[in-house]
Amino acid sequence: MNPIAKKSADKRKAQKDFRKFAFPSIKVLETKPILVQQNAYRIIGQQVIPSPLFSHFIVVDQEGVRANRVITEKVYMYISMVQLANHYTQMMPWLESQKGAKDDHEIFSSDPSIQEDYLYLCKTTEEASRKLQTWIQQMDSLHQEDQWTEQSFKDMEQSWKEFWDFYENRLEKLFNVHTYMKTEHVHTPTRKSPLDGMYKEAHFNKYLFTDTISLHTPFINDIRDFIHLNGQLGIIKESSNQGEIIQKKEHFSYHFFKSMVYALVAILIIASILTFAGKLHITSVITTFIIVCVVFYFGQVHDKELLKSMETRLKTLRKHELSHAPIIRKKYKKEYKTYIQREQRQQKDEKPYQFIVSIAKLPTWIMIFAVLIIVMGLVSLPLDQQSNILSFSYVVFGLILGFLARWLPKMRIGQRKITLEPEKITVHKKVYESKHCNLIRMNSTYKHIYIHMNARPDPIKFYVPKDTRTEVYTHISKWCERNLVTFQLKR
């Protein structure tokens, strides 16, 4: 059920039209066209925020002319239906696993209202699964059609409406149970149990309804309003605010690393050919290869940091624009005001805590490079007496890198400041909301700290100075408890 167009006669034109709006290092996507009022309209955009919906987009016709507001809202709603159907297929196994979850109802006996919500969820699991399956099957049928029209979506809208009319009631109960399970750490001992499926379903929905709109807690569970709000925040205005998301120097550095890698790969190929022809020594190829690896590694690190920076800035911008969104002003003004007041109270009650840590991963990679360079220098030493000086230079350079790796965590350049605040954690200059942090671990001596983020495959690892380890452990564990983040102490 992928709404993204696989082939398009206007693909090159679409990419060109969107180029002035596009953020680097993020794929530009173009959806299949939808026939509305005799014209075919499609979305061109990017998913800057980790969400199934577009968070930076425009809607254009077959000539590349931007659609009016009414058409834009229609097309965005239709495409979002398909994207959400594709997204919600992940929930099917979790609903199936919840059969028999009533056996665990005593876990919630300390809170009768949560126990009542839990029992409601148990009773409605099979119905939720059936209605979701019907909606997904109709979306599958839609995907088989060669031409999407308004009528195509109206034909399947009944199953969409039936599912969401039912599921919006379930969402409220899911959010309540999820908060209770996180606060009381109920989810930890129930791994691989039916209750775990319920926790995953709740976390899945809460993440979608908060992260997509840059909220800490959801106050909208009407799916149409949710899509309309995201569309109002994500549509690119005529006066684009791209400069607030990415700076000119970041644009330059992104293209600089890409150009450097291409140039160095070309040099590596030429050096390999000349070495094979006997014009250059093998050490030239080795040297070029090492430089390519180093530049490529730092380019990848830079791209990941750039992506995170753009995501953080876009979320901040969307958060500021939230109060001006038409649907908030017309329908959710009271709920939004309550949400802001709650956030302000929490920030006032909780004081920030700062501590210094040292980077751990970069010194490890530098040490690996150092060892490889030393080994290459030692291996190439007996190959040719004329290359002894160059080989010796490899060994010296490797030793210098090893010394740098050893002392980098103790130098100021290798240190980072971490700030714990209500519902967010700042690492150096990067701000992460607590809901994006799914786990923080420390070892038994409090020497290492591992911060696991939803959007990162690997945890961020730091060394904690010896004189502050106990204090850091105390504040980290309390912060996790207050912000519903799982904390583990590895024995």
Q: What percent of the chain has pLDDT over 70?
A: 88
Contact 391/377 with Cβ under 8 angstroms?
Answer: yes
- Taking only the tens place, the pLDDT of each residue in 233-253 is 989 887 666 667 787 888 888
For residue 377, the model assigns a pLDDT of 75
What length is written for the chain? 491
Beta bridge partners of 441: 450, 488
The angle that helices 361-380 and 282-321 make with each other, rounded to 10 degrees, is: 170
Per-residue confidence (pLDDT) for residue 13, from 0 to 100? 63
Task: Calculate mean pLDDT across residues 242-267.
Answer: 84
Query: Please, which residues bridge with residue 171 across strands?
Result: none
Q: What is the pLDDT of residue 342?
A: 79
Q: Which residues contact 140 (CB under 8 A, 6 or more apart)?
A: 1
Tally helices (H) and strands (E) across the chain.
Answer: 14, 13
Phi, psi of 167 (to 5 degrees): -75, -25
Do 418 and 440 contact (CB within 8 A), yes or no?
A: no
Ranges of each domain in the chain: 11-79, 88-234
- Going 473 to 479 to 483 to 484, the CA torsion angle's sign is positive
Q: What global pTM score does this model have?
A: 0.77
Residue found under tokens 């100075």:
465
**Tell me: the pLDDT tens digits for 114-171?**
888 888 888 889 899 999 999 888 888 887 787 888 888 887 888 898 999 999 889 9
pLDDT at 301 over 60: yes
Question: What is the rounded average pLDDT of the residues 176-194?
Answer: 69
Q: How confident is the model at residue 228 (pLDDT cuts 50, 70, 90)?
A: very high
Rg of the chain (C-alpha set): 27
Cα gap 323→340, rounded to integer Å: 10
**pLDDT higher for 240 or 181?**
181
State the Cα–Cα distance between residues 21 and 236, nearest whole angstrom: 8
Can you list the positions of beta strands (E) in 232-389?
353-359
Report long-range pairs for 163-168 (Cβ below 8 Å, ≥24 apart): 163/131, 163/132, 163/134, 163/135, 164/223, 164/224, 166/124, 166/127, 166/128, 166/131, 167/128, 167/131, 167/132, 168/221, 168/222, 168/223
Q: Which of 38-42, 351-355, 429-433 is predicted least confidently?
A: 429-433
**CA gap 122, 454 in Å, rounded:** 28
Query: What's the token pair of residue 172?
Result: 């409220």
In the structure, what pLDDT confidence band is assigned to residue 388 with cuts at 50, 70 and 90? low
CA distance 42 to 273: 48
pLDDT at 484 over 80: no
